[in-house]
Amino acid sequence: MSESNQLCSKCKNNKPLNEFNKSSHHKNGHRNICRDCRNTHRTIIRKHNKHYAVLLEMQNNCCAICGKSEEENGKRLAIDHNHKTHQVRNLLCQSCNTGLGDFKDNKELLLKAFEYLKKWEDDATA
């Protein structure tokens, strides 16, 4: 009997289910990111956590997008990185980091969202 496979949402490889950590939050009982991708991500974050204070100071103690401080956000800033190259970019608040993630770092999609908001801002008075 063969074990079922699952597609990793990061590397897009189809891997055996035993290469995914268990999770009660996911429908099939396993995370959607394979262990290899999760370990790579954790290594990046751990490496840059050591320099977090320096990164924060370089950004004037605030999110690189919205400019809010940790105190204003009520949370530590996230270490944002390129998921393809693993290059660390900057520190972002949870809202800005999640926003980029929701748009899959897709510049064209973000521009479309900007144009959409701009259109409705202009139409708000009509």
Closest by CA to 82, choosing from 112, 27, 38, 41, is: 41
**What digits encode the pLDDT tens for the residues 39-78?**
988 888 888 888 899 999 999 999 999 999 999 999 999 9
Topology alike, domains 1-50 and 60-126: no
Question: Which class does domain 60-126 fall in?
Answer: alpha beta
**What digits encode the pLDDT tens for the residues 72-118?**
999 999 999 887 888 889 999 999 999 998 998 899 999 999 999 99
User: Which CATH number is 1-50 given?
Assistant: 3.30.60.130
pTM of the model: 0.71
Q: Where are the domains of the chain?
A: 1-50, 60-126
